[in-house]
């Protein structure tokens, strides 16, 4: 009997198990290469019965693209085995990525990836759960962009349809996917000019629909849901709360497309405007500026359809705040002035004061000291004329504490250009903290961080770090993106004093919270 030499075999094996001939430099045996020749550059043509295999049906039922890909690879109707390497090449990803998708370690939630993979595998449209109306590969140019809310017509039906399309598009995208694929916000005239349509009346709605009107009972139920969801707008975070808001928006918009003109329909549009603004605030907090902008625009449009110009102006003010956050002071000022002009005859004292503080915000970023103090003085004078009972509910949060806090924070912005303004910032923020309701935890956190940044500008880094250390436990519990970004701003501003032990310890603590 012949004994082995003990040396390992150098023969190569094909994935099918057969040995590869020595003169074959390919990674497949001749049989597998012959069978794979037709589909080496992409998936083969498959019969309709291919998609009806139980494993495929289960994957579609679970709405799991990773499971769909795995079931596709293992489908017994393939002439030759579809390896992970081959599938990864078809999809344009690595084998490691594919493995994580198939195992469920990395769920596929990003809409453009869902569409791309469905296109590559030629999944029938009627099997798709995420986009039955349009899939780029099969129904036009590839694009994962959400609906263009700025270009949509300004009539009630189009407004409702735009809301529905946007909410459904965003419901299919996870937070991580949205952060990865977020588009740039619209700025300049491309943003401001389309919004000027808000100043004009909507088209006549008298023959809008012959469907049943929204009843008072239905409206009351919608209001209860909106009231429950509105509270999440100021708590930070993203996740399930935002999906709940978008889901409610989707359902409401679908109902509004079939509702006739009338007072309950207008009130339902206003509820939709409130929900859109909550969705925008949540998106803004999560750092999704493009999504936030879309929902702010939709809130303006729905408020217009709801005959509530005051709320539309409030949404324009929120859009302006976003522009300030992005360093677009000119665009922010244009949006504020658009809101001021549209409510010049109807604006209540609190609304006018709020818009004036936003105008002052623009001047603070521009370093225009005289214009800033003029706008602040006017805001204080107008605010003093308020009668709380006459103010709409959506303005009740802009109380004296909020007025002082906003003015103080803007004085701090101005102090970057003129350090003498720091003393005014400290005075206003200190008063805001004294007036602030203890339940307004996030607002108080903004106040303390603003006061700390003021002390940093004033040249007192130890006191600034002391304030930040006081607020860090609260910031860790809030899970608010905006609070974390303000802390990050403080850390950047403290870099000039990083030789100090207090600054080193505080910036390290901020880094730990951000990482967590």
**Average pLDDT of the chain to the nearest whole number:** 83
Of residues 135 and 401, more confidently modeled:
401
473-491 pLDDT, tens digit each:
998 888 788 888 899 889 8
Residue that is last in its domain, among 127, 147, 181:
127
- Percent helix, strand and coil across the chain, each to the nearest 5: 70, 0, 30
Q: Examine the pLDDT at 505 and tell me if it is beyond 90.
A: yes
Q: Give residue 279's pLDDT band: very low, low, confident or very high (50, 70, 90).
A: very high
The confidence score (pLDDT) of residue 516 equals 63
199 is a domain residue: yes
Domain enclosing residue 328, as ranges: 156-351+432-515
Q: Do 301 and 185 fall within a single domain? A: yes
Q: Give residue 338's pLDDT band: very low, low, confident or very high (50, 70, 90).
A: very high
Q: Cβ neighbours of residue 319 under 8 Å, at least 6 residues apart?
A: 293, 296, 297, 300, 332, 335
Contact between 33 and 21 under an 8 Å Cβ cutoff? The reply is: no
Q: Is 10 helix (H, G, I), strand (E, B) or coil?
A: coil
8 is a domain residue: no
The confidence score (pLDDT) of residue 242 equals 78
Q: Do 196 and 251 fall within a single domain? A: yes
Q: Give residue 245's pLDDT band: very low, low, confident or very high (50, 70, 90).
A: confident
> Which of 137-146, 245-254, 479-488, 500-509 is the least confident region?
137-146
> Which of 117-121, 309-313, 501-505 is the least confident region?
117-121
Which range has the top average pLDDT, 33-42, 113-122, 196-205, 315-324? 315-324
364 is a domain residue: no
187-198 pLDDT, tens digit each:
888 899 999 988
d(CA 298, CA 276): 6
Q: Where are the alpha helices (DSSP H) in 106-238?
A: 111-121, 136-139, 156-171, 175-181, 189-195, 216-230
- Long-range Cβ contact pairs of 97-103 (< 8 A, separation 24 or more): 98/69, 101/65, 101/66, 101/69, 102/66, 102/67, 102/69, 102/70, 102/73, 103/66
Quote the distance between the C-alpha of residue 39 and its chain's center: 40
Q: How many CB atoms lie within 10 A of CB 363?
A: 22
Q: Do 209 and 75 fall within a single domain? A: no
Q: Cβ neighbours of residue 154 under 8 Å, at least 6 residues apart?
A: 197, 198, 200, 202, 203, 301, 304
Q: Do 83 and 167 fall within a single domain? A: no
91 is written with which tokens? 């999809």
Of residues 348 and 83, more confidently modeled:
348
Q: Give residue 2's pLDDT band: very low, low, confident or very high (50, 70, 90).
A: very low
Q: Examine the pLDDT at 332 and tell me if it is beyond 90.
A: yes
42 is a domain residue: no
**CA dist 394 → 21, 151, 245, 436 (Å):** 77, 27, 17, 18
Of residues 176 and 248, more confidently modeled:
248
Q: Is 318 helix (H, G, I), strand (E, B) or coil?
A: helix
Q: Do 104 and 249 fall within a single domain? A: no
Q: Do 214 and 327 fall within a single domain? A: yes
Residue appearing with tokens 């310890």: 505
d(CA 444, CA 409): 12
198 is a domain residue: yes
Q: Where are the alpha helices (DSSP H) in 172-308?
A: 175-181, 189-195, 216-230, 239-256, 263-285, 289-305
376 is a domain residue: no
Q: Examine the pLDDT at 438 and tell me if it is beyond 70.
A: yes
Q: Do 327 and 462 fall within a single domain? A: yes
Q: Do 214 and 103 fall within a single domain? A: no
408 is a domain residue: no
Q: Do 255 and 295 fall within a single domain? A: yes
Q: DSSP assignment, residue 37?
A: G
> Which of 154-158, 265-269, 299-303, 477-481 is the least confident region?
477-481
Q: Give residue 14's pLDDT band: very low, low, confident or very high (50, 70, 90).
A: low
416 is a domain residue: no
Q: Do 170 and 286 fall within a single domain? A: yes
How many domains is the chain built from? 2
Q: Do 174 and 246 fall within a single domain? A: yes
Q: Do 305 and 347 fall within a single domain? A: yes
Q: Examine the pLDDT at 289 and tell me if it is beyond 90.
A: no
> Phi/psi of residue 300, each to 5°?
-60, -45
Q: How many CB atoms lie within 10 A of CB 234?
A: 16
Residue that is last in its domain, among 77, 106, 127:
127
């Amino acid at each position: 009997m012949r004994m082995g030499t003990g040396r390992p075999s150098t023969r190569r094996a094909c994935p099918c198990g057969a040995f590869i001939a020595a003169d074959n430099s390919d990674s497949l045996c001749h049989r597998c290469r012959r069978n794979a020749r037709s589909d080496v550059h992409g998936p083969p043509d498959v019969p309709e019965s291919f998609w009806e295999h139980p494993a495929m049906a289960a994957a579609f039922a679970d709405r799991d693209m990773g499971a769909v890909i795995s079931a596709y690879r293992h489908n017994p109707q393939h002439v030759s085995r579809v390896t992970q390497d081959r599938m990864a090449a078809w999809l344009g990803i690595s084998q490691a990525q594919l493995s994580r998708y198939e195992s469920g370690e990395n769920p596929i939630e990003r809409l453009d990836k869902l569409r791309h993979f469905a296109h590559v595998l030629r999944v029938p449209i009627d099997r798709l759960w995420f986009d039955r109306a349009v899939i780029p590969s099969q129904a036009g140019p590839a694009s994962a962009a959400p609906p263009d809310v700025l270009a949509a017509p300004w009539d009630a039906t189009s407004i409702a349809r735009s809301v529905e399309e946007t909410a459904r598009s965003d419901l299919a995208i996870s937070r991580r996917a949205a952060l990865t694929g977020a588009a740039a916000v619209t700025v300049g005239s491309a943003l401001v000019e389309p919004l000027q349509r808000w100043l004009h009346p909507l088209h006549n709605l008298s023959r809008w629909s012959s469907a049943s009107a929204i009843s008072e009972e239905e409206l009351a139920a919608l209001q209860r849901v909106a009231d429950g969801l509105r509270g999440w707008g100021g708590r930070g975070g993203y996740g399930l709360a935002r999906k709940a808001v978008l889901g409610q928006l989707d359902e409401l918009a679908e109902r509004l497309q079939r509702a006739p003109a009338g007072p309950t329909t207008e009130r339902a549009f206003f509820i939709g405007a409130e929900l859109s603004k909550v969705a925008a605030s949540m998106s803004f907090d999560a750092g999704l500026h493009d999504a936030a902008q879309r929902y702010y625009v939709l809130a303006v449009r729905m408020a217009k359809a709801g005959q509530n110009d005051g709320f539309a102006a409030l949404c324009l003010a929120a859009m302006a705040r976003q522009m300030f956050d992005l360093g677009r002071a000119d665009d922010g000022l244009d949006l504020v002035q658009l809101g001021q002009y549209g409510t010049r005859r109807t604006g209540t004292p609190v609304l006018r004061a709020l818009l004036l503080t936003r105008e002052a915000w623009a001047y603070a970023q521009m370093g225009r000291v005289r214009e800033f103090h003029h706008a602040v003085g006017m805001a204080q004078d107008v605010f003093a004329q308020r009668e709380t009972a006459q103010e709409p509910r959506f303005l009740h949060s802009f109380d004296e504490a909020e007025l002082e806090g906003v003015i103080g924070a803007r004085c701090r912005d101005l102090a970057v250009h003129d350090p003498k303004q720091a003393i005014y910032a400290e005075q206003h923020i200190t008063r805001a903290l004294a007036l602030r309701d203890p339940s307004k935890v996030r607002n108080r956190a903004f106040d303390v961080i603003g006061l700390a940044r003021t002390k940093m500008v004033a040249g007192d880094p130890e006191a600034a770090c002391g304030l930040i250390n006081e607020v860090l436990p609260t910031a860790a519990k809030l899970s608010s993106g905006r609070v974390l970004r303000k802390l990050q701003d403080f850390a950047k501003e403290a870099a000039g004093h990083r030789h100090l032990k207090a600054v080193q310890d505080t910036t390290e603590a901020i880094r730990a919270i951000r990482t967590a």
